[in-house]
Structure 1
Amino acid sequence: MMGGGTASESAYRVLMSVLESRTGQTLSPNRIWRIEMSLKPVLQRHGIADLDALVAALVTANGRQLLDDTVDAMLNNETFFYREHSVFDDIAEKALEYLRVVNARQRQLTIWHCGVSTGQEAYSMAMLLAEQGERWAGWRVDVIGTDVSHHAISRARVGLYSQFEIQRGLPVQRMVRWFDQTEAGWLAKADLRRRVDFSVQNMLIDRPPLAAPADLIFCRNLLLYFAMPMRQKAFARLRAIAAPQSFLVLGAGETVLGQTDQFVASPRLRGLYEPADQQVRRPVAA
């Protein structure tokens, strides 16, 4: 029996298949055992006895709510503010300045957070851009966050975080400037929420709601959960949406080596990646 739980092996297989078909993600062996624990709240909310009964209900259910809740519960929505501070520092000091020169004529900057989860990363970027102030005066700056999880996107749009979440990576001065403390938690101020657009999107299927090709793409610790064919498809999707001169940000433990020929390590910024065909290009002076 898989995972050491009480569910039948066929129930685990069905649930893993549902996750992969809806999101492209696969469960590694060390995550399979967590299925039953992750789905306990779903079982309780819908009055379902166990995983076998859940699978039966998924087959017969008319609505999408149970399916959405099940998939959401199995996803890993780990994120926090300014994750890997050094990456954000390099982006603030170098990557954005490079993109400002490249895009000087059209004065437009598009940033896409793919797999944004509950929104902390996109809000981090929005705060950073707002703090740069005059650098982006007169520019159209779009920060878009997408995720396959309906629940995560709902939370991101509200912008309400617990004491633990708000303190995780967010300096006190930014916490006070951009969030209000309420009885329910720390709520992002309206000015910050207006700076980010969140939407539900499956990056393997749907095109993100971008007005222009993405100049900076965050796709961190998402592709880890894809099997190789899906991962290669995902990289192709990212390349199709990236601007000719752009940067891709992956997680600290991720790389493009042996994964894709769509992107290569950036010669400009350590830890970032660029479209492979960008290497022959140079910034266009304003």
Structure 2
Amino acid sequence: MTITDFDFICQILKARSGLVLTNDKAYLLESRLLPVARKWKLATFDDLVRLIRSKNDEAVIRDVVEAMTTNESFFFRDTKPFDQFKQICLPAMLKSRAGAKSLRIWSAACSSGQEAYSLAMILTEMAPQLAGWRIDIVGTDLSNEILQRAKDGMYSQFEVQRGLPITLLVKYFTQVGDRWKISDKIRQMVQYKEWNLLNDPAPLGKFDIVFCRNVLIYFDQPTKAKVLAGIAKQMPDDGYLFLGGAETVLGISDKFQLLPGQRGIYGLTGGIKPPASLTPPGFATPR
């Protein structure tokens, strides 16, 4: 792989997805794109680059972008954000939205759906407190292929063993051969849409809670600021934003501030409310 070819593909990735690759990631680029080359009946990475340069084929470019998008995900990933969701966000929303009885949640860059379905399971466990409520969970990703996996709700034994409590596996999944299918009840709680975070999210509507975890780390500073500004416009003053443990808004955006005493959970600047300290009555944290 030449430096020129590496830079060429990196420019496409940056423009189409916001993904920024450093020079030490050349091996990753080649290893992930070789299967794309074979799909298009090409022998080498160099052949793939030549095809894109000569024809600028959108279908090929789309395959390249999807192959380079990180799709790592698992149920109840890192645990803490889901505890914060249950113990801080939901009690506050149950109180502030008691009149409207409506809650909208966005799982951005949702990959194969584990995050969105984890939230759906939590809310289902809280059914008595949410009786009569309208709950909308929207999962978005720029990869149509990975979204289809999320919609299918079918997971391997390895995938359901990563973070999913056995009690919830038994309750909400059915074994089909050597795989596990999530129940229609949970699957139908999530609406999946193809969406690029580089676009203005206004068409998606307003969201009370946004999960955008482990995404910003792949962007440069201007792109991070753009994404955060777009999210801020779609949130109410008392909304919540979840970022990954290694992510921050410091030096990037003045739209958000960290909740006092918390990590990874933010509110709009000036709209922060003191966090609730107790889990909603009647709801036990799944382990």
When normalised by structure 2's length, the TM-score is 0.90
Distance 1:282 1:35, change over 3 A: closer
User: Is the alpha carbon distance of 1:58 and 1:206 closer, same or farther for their aligned partners in structure 2, counting shifts above 3 Å?
Assistant: farther
Please give the alpha-carbon distance, in whole angstroms, between the structure 1 residues aligned to 2:145 and 2:9.
Answer: 18
User: Does the alignment pair 1:230 with 2:223?
Assistant: yes
Which structure 2 residues correspond to residues 110-121 of structure 1 after superposition, within 5 A? 110-121=104-115
| Kept in 2: contact 1:68–1:150 (CA 8 A) | no
Whether 1:272 and 2:265 are equivalent positions in the alignment is: yes
Contact 1:256–1:263 at 8 Å: present in 2 too?
A: yes
Residues 63 and 157 of structure 1: CA distance in aligned 2, closer, same or farther (over 3 Å): farther
Q: Give 4+ residue runs of structure 1 displaced > 6 Å after superposition.
A: 280-283
- Give, in angstroms, the shift of residue 29 of structure 1: 4.1
Question: Any unmatched runs of 5+ in structure 1?
Answer: 1-6
Task: Supply the RMSD in Å over aligned alpha carbons.
Answer: 2.1
1:240-274 per-residue CA deviation (whole Å, 9 max, x = no partner) reads 11122111000011111122101001137543100
Quick one: which amino acid aligns to residue 271 of structure 1? G
- Residue 148 in structure 1 maps to residue 142 in structure 2: yes
Q: Is the 8 A contact 1:146 1:208 kept in 2?
A: no
Give a deviation string over 1:104-138, Cα, whole Å, max 9, x none.
12111000011111110000000000011111111
> 2:151 maps to which residue?
157
Are residue 124 (structure 1) and residue 118 (structure 2) matched?
Answer: yes
SS at match of 1:245: coil
List aligned pairs for 1:3-18, cutoff 5 A. 7-18=1-12
Picking from 249, 252, 264, the partner of 2:245 is 252
Work out the CA distance in 2 between the residues paired with 1:94 and 1:239: 19
Cα distance between partner residues in 2 of 1:22 and 1:176: 40
Deviating more after overlay: 32-41 vs 126-135 = 32-41
Query: What amino acid maps onto 1:164 in structure 2?
Result: F
- Cα distance in 1 for partners of 2:152, 2:98 equals 33
User: Equivalents in 2 of 1:112, 1:26: separation in Å?
Assistant: 24
Cα separation, partners in 2 of 1:249 and 1:113, compared to 1, 3 Å: same
Q: Which whole-Å CA distance do the structure 1 matches of 2:122 and 2:249 have between them?
A: 27
Return the letter of the residue paired with 2:21. L
Structure 1 residues 116, 90: CA separation in 2 closer, same or farther (over 3 Å shift)?
A: same
Match of 2:284 in 1: none
Q: How many correspondences in the alignment?
A: 276
1:55 aligned residue = 49
Gaps of 5+ in 2: 277-287
Cα 1:210/1:104, change in 2 over 3 Å: farther
**Are the aligned partners of 1:11 and 1:51 in contact in 2 as well (CA < 8 Å)?**
no
SS at the partner of 1:253?
coil
Counterpart CA distance in 1 for 2:260 and 2:36 is: 47
1:198 aligns with 2:162: no
Q: 1:73-108: per-residue Cα shift (whole Å, max 9, x none)? A: 111111110011122112112211101111112111
- Partner deviation per Cα, 1:170-208 (whole Å, 9 max, x = no partner): 011111211111126211121111010111101221426
Q: Does 1:46 align with 2:40?
A: yes
Could you tell me which residue of structure 1 aligns to residue 26 of structure 2?
Answer: 32
**Equivalent of 1:175 in 163, 169, 188:** 169
Alpha-carbon distance in 2 for matches of 1:209, 1:253: 29
